[in-house]
Amino acid sequence: MKCSIIPPYLLQRLASLEDPALAPVAAAARASLQRDAPFRGIRVGETPPPTTADRRSTLTTRTLRDADRTIADAGGTETLPGTVVRVEGDPDGSDAAVNEAYAGLGETHDLYRQVFERASIDDNNLPLVATVHFGDDYDNAFWDGERMVFGDGDGIVFTRMTASLSVIGHELAHGVTQYSANLVYQGQSGALNESVSDVFGCLVEQRSLGHSADDATWLIGLGLFTDQVEGEALRSLRAPGTAYNDDVLGKDPQPAHMRDYIETTDDNGGVHLNSGIPNHAFYLVATALGGNAWEHAGLIWYSALTNGTVPATADFATFGAATEQAAIDRYGADSPEHTAVRDGWAGVGVELAPLPAA
């Protein structure tokens, strides 16, 4: 067992094993903690305080660097990357989309750095790049594996896609997922991928606005629709299915509960539809715990996403179990946090998989 790649909270558990048959394991874990304690910032035998993010163990010291942002302009074409128009440190110019993308990348980078101690989306200080003015009347934004890409909207249904911080956070979170659990973009794992993006998109916006879980709108894409649309936003984590109801767009089709899970071949198996279910689970956990969602439910979700326990093909039950285990690891079994996580998933009708074996 290579102790140096085991995260500290797991080493703590191994170090306190009492079974005599596992004594060598416990001893090895204690030795590893002792040897690495100066780098980890915790002492052997101490439980890490619950408010610090889990530290990822690496063999090398990973510095948390400032954001390194580049914004490019596709000029209404669909050619990527486009022409670079702003680099890190440049002041705001006259192009609102460029300014919004730059600011949004910064806010998102800051959430990961300050709250989750993550060095950019790959946890290795990856430069953040975005292209704006993609396409003609392009009502969309996406992550292409390397950069975020934003359209300008058609001005009839949608305004420009950079106008929403939750959308910017959503797109960048696809990058974080790619570099961590890498949830397959299909079926339930795809709906989880989408949900993780909605959750962290919300957290970027909430932290930027200083909204606690009780104050927050819990909406994705607030402000993207024009005045002509009967609707507030693209999605609601508080009440999936209620974000819009419009003559042209139809009604928000998201389910909030497993009983309404949508089996479809549309949309890679309904990834933007069924994300409503894990979205609502997060909302329930965050509001049960209160305070700032990024400091409580957000830490649990971030842990589960990045601690290596979620397979790329995870379904809701498996991901839910990973969040339950993350809550137990951080806060203890039967803590308010553990209870909130169990209740949150129960509230959307997801029966959790058995906890991963210790």
Partner 1 sequence: MKVIVIRTGGMAGLRRTWEVTVDDQPDSESWAELLTRLPWENRPKAPAQPDRYVYEIRCSRRRVVLPEQQLTGPWRELVDRVRNTEAPR
Among 86, 174, 280, 330, the residue binding partner 1 under the rule CB under 8 A is 174
SS3 assignment, position 320: helix
The C-alpha angle with vertex 184 and arms to 355 and 135, in degrees rounded to 5, equals 145
By CB under 8 A, residue 162 contacts partner 1 = no
Check binding of 219 to partner 1 (CB under 8 A).
no
From 183, 128, 176, select the one nearest 298 (Cα to Cα): 176
Neighbouring CB atoms inside 10 A of 329's CB total 22
156: phi then psi, degrees, rounded to nearest 5 = -105, -50
- Would residue 272 show up in a list of annotated catalytic residues for this protein? yes
Distance (Å, whole) CA 116 – CA 122: 12
Binding to partner 1 in span 253-292, by CB under 8 A = 253, 265-268, 271-273
In angstroms, what CA-CA distances link 258 with 99, 174, 184, 317, 342?
40, 24, 20, 11, 15
3-state SS assignment for residue 132: strand
DSSP H or E run through 172: helix 165-178
Q: How far is the CB of 138 from partner 1 (least distance, A)?
A: 10
- Contact between 250 and partner 1 by CB under 8 A: the answer reads yes
Q: Name the segment binding partner 1 (CB under 8 A); options: 66-74, 166-174, 299-307, 330-338.
A: 166-174
Looking at 8, 48, 190, 255, which residue binds partner 1 (CB under 8 A)? 190
* Region binding partner 1 by CB under 8 A among candidate stretches 7-15, 248-256, 315-323, 334-342: 248-256
206 near partner 1, rule: CB under 8 A:
no
Among candidate residues 100, 170, 171, 295, the one labeled active-site is 171
Q: Which x/- pattern over 103-142 shows residues binding partner 1 (rule: CB under 8 A)? A: ------------------------------------xxxx
Q: Report the alpha-carbon distance of residue 26 to residue 327 in Å, rounded.
A: 23
Q: Is 230 a catalytic residue?
A: no
DSSP for residue 70: E
CB of 86 to partner 1, least distance (A): 23
Which is nearest to 242 in space by CA: 266, 219, 209?
219
CB-wise, 107 or 246, nearer to partner 1?
A: 246
Member of 53, 167, 213, 222 binding partner 1 (CB under 8 A): 167
- Active site positions, annotated: 171, 272
Q: Given the rule CB under 8 A, which residues bind partner 1? A: 139-145, 158, 161, 167, 170-171, 174, 185-186, 190, 193-194, 197, 221, 224, 234-235, 249-250, 253, 265-268, 271-273
